[in-house]
């Protein structure tokens, strides 16, 4: 149950519009970031609400999950990265994944929160 939970509200995203509106482009970006961070992807699902509008997506990890939601009309993105530390400390991987995804959107500003999940048993 112990793990690192990172959330971010990204504002003024200057990335290619495709990353905010195309589920396949967002999925490819997320999967590449997961693999680069050394985490294990179990499955994923990405959904566009209407042509040119936002996308919501999740990648299920053996270590937990990431969730991404885009608002192209506001150049905004929310990120949710939770990586558990069962068996080993994956905190550095969680941070690498969060940082890679944040950088991909090229935001002007980020409001982020860090939560250490789980306590002594």
Rg (CA), the chain: 14
- Helix or strand or coil: residue 43? strand
Contact 68, 77 (CB under 8 A): yes
Instruction: Give the DSSP letter of residue 74.
Output: G
69 is catalytic: yes
109 close to 7: Cβ distance less than 8 angstroms: no
Which of 13, 29, 84, 102 is catalytic? The answer is 84
Active site residue 102: no
Asked whether 105 and 18 are in contact (CB, 8 A), the reply is no
- 104: tokens are 């991909």
Q: 5, 65, 69, 91: which one is catalytic? A: 69
**Residue 5 among the catalytic residues:** no
Of 64, 65, 102, 112, which is the active-site residue?
64
Q: Which residues are catalytic?
A: 64, 69, 84
């Amino acid at each position: 149950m112990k793990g690192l939970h990172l959330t971010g509200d990204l504002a003024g995203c200057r990335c290619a519009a495709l990353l905010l509106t195309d589920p396949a482009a967002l999925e490819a970006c997320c999967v590449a970031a997961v693999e680069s961070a050394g985490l294990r992807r179990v499955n994923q699902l990405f959904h566009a609400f209407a042509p040119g509008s936002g996308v919501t997506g999740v990648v299920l990890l053996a270590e937990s999950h990431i969730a991404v939601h885009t608002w192209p009309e506001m150049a905004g993105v929310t990120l949710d990265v939770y990586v558990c530390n069962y068996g080993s400390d994956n905190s550095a991987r969680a941070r690498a994944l969060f940082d890679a995804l944040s950088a991909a959107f090229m935001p002007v500003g980020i409001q982020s929160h860090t939560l250490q999940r789980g306590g002594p048993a």
